[in-house]
Amino acid sequence: MGKTIVLLLGPKHSGKTSAARALAESLRCRCVDLDALIEKRTGKKPRALYREGVDAFRRAEAEALSGALRELRADGSALCTIVSTGGGIIDNGEAVSVIKALKPQGNSEQSVIAVFLEVSAKTAWSRICRSVEAGEELPPFLQTETPEETHRLLHERRNSAYKELASFAVMAENKTEKSIAAEIVRKGCFCG
């Protein structure tokens, strides 16, 4: 069997990072968190980078994704890797092009599975509010006169785009990260 890369896609607070860890543990493979990689490469948290400029953030995000994928392809020991992406990656044209280019051509030694973790706008908003109550800042792109409405519209648009890009979707609403990981395995991730 060749290498398998599983990309977890979805909105902010859909559980991508925790599900990625659970899936990696279940399959005994490597886990890469794209936000952590951006911070490591730039020395800045993604939110701080975003505040400096959307274009700079998106460029850093696409470069981090491309770099991680190059390293994964070059690493002969990693047969399976789970990559947790950022919630807004679907709005990053360059990063989406990188993901689309991963689709193998012909007899490829690499398989790519893009999994959309779906949650309702209401659930995502309540999770964002809890994180703000716990001391996090409201994301810059939601700092509008009507942040909840801004979020709902953005969430709906992005979800449609994620559904189109993904190999399949997993409803992540009211599920533990382990049950999400188990569903991903059942729906098509046969890495190992």
| pLDDT tens column, 65-91 | 999 888 877 776 767 889 999 999 999
pLDDT at 106 over 50: no
- Rg, C-alpha atoms of the chain: 16
pLDDT at 2 over 80: no
Has residue 25 been placed in a domain? Answer: yes
Residue 126 to residue 147: CA distance in whole angstroms? 12
Q: Is 136 left (phi over 0), alpha (psi -120 to 50) or beta?
A: beta
Confidence of residue 153 (pLDDT cuts 50, 70, 90): very high
| Helices 16-27 and 177-187: angle between axes, nearest 10 degrees | 60
pLDDT at 72: 79
Residue 164 to residue 147: CA distance in whole angstroms? 26
Question: In the predicted model, what is the mean pLDDT of residues 51-73?
Answer: 90
Q: Can you tell me whether residue 133 is helix, strand or coil?
A: helix
Has residue 91 been placed in a domain? Answer: yes
Has residue 79 been placed in a domain? Answer: yes
Question: In the predicted model, what is the mean pLDDT of residues 108-135?
Answer: 89
Q: What is the pTM of this model?
A: 0.90
Residue 88's domain comprises 3-187
pLDDT at 190: 56
Confidence of residue 108 (pLDDT cuts 50, 70, 90): low
106: buried, middle or exposed (CB in 10 Å: 19+, 13-18, 0-12)? exposed
- Residue 89's nearest CA partner among 180, 173, 16 is 16
pLDDT at 9 over 80: yes
pLDDT at 192: 44
Has residue 155 been placed in a domain? Answer: yes
**CB within 8 A of 10, min separation 6: which ones?**
16, 87, 116, 117, 118, 119, 162, 172
Has residue 81 been placed in a domain? Answer: yes
pLDDT at 152: 96
pLDDT at 103: 62
Distances (CA, A) of 176 to 14, 17, 58: 11, 12, 30
Has residue 16 been placed in a domain? Answer: yes
The token pair that represents 129 in the structure block? 């509010």
Has residue 192 been placed in a domain? Answer: no
Domain harbouring 115, CATH code: 3.40.50.300
pLDDT at 107: 45
pLDDT at 112 over 60: yes
pLDDT at 139 over 90: no
Has residue 15 been placed in a domain? Answer: yes
Question: In the predicted model, what is the mean pLDDT of residues 53-59?
Answer: 94
Question: In the predicted model, what is the mean pLDDT of residues 38-57?
Answer: 92
Report percent pLDDT > 90 for the chain.
Answer: 70
Q: Give the chain's domain count.
A: 1
